[in-house]
Structure 1
Amino acid sequence: MAQSSEVGVSEFVEALLERVRKAKADLVAARKADDVYAVTVALGELDDAERLAREHGFDTEAAGADEG
């Protein structure tokens, strides 16, 4: 039973990292396009994903969420 729980946590962490990576990529693209609305949306998504990670005691930068 512990193994299935570990798989669930691993999947959660990977999904969270991917969410942070996507938000960062979206933010870069929005800034390059000079799209104020898209920047605001991307910042909101990034803030939400990083907040969720912090609430679960997870450091997205240390885990490589900056890697593409």
Structure 2
Amino acid sequence: MVESFAELALERVRLARRDLETAAAEDDAYAIACAADELDDAIRIARSLGLQVTPGDGAAGPGRG
């Protein structure tokens, strides 16, 4: 099954959030900075596709969340 680009973008947001939480739990300043940058990029890309990125576990597509 082929996932759409939008689904992949939302998954990237979820993974970036997970990585940021992990880095924060480990109190690793460098990993936090890298994960925060990745999350910013992932959110920017998702929003450029018209997706609504919501707080919490991930993101929602247009009209969801």
Structure 1 length-normalised TM: 0.72
Q: Write the distance in 1 (CA, Å) between the matches of 2:58 and 2:17.
A: 9
1:13 has 2:6 as partner: yes
More helix by share: 1
CA deviations 1:1-48 (Å, max 9, x no partner) are xxxxxxx8x611111111001000000000010000000011000000
Which residue does the alignment assign to 1:39? 32
Q: Identity percentage over the alignment?
A: 44
Which residue does the alignment assign to 2:47? 54
* RMSD of aligned alpha carbons: 2.1
Number of equivalenced pairs: 57
| Bigger Cα Rg | 1
Structure 2 length-normalised TM: 0.75
Q: Which runs of 5+ in 1 are unaligned?
A: 1-7
The offset of 1:65, in angstroms, is 1.5
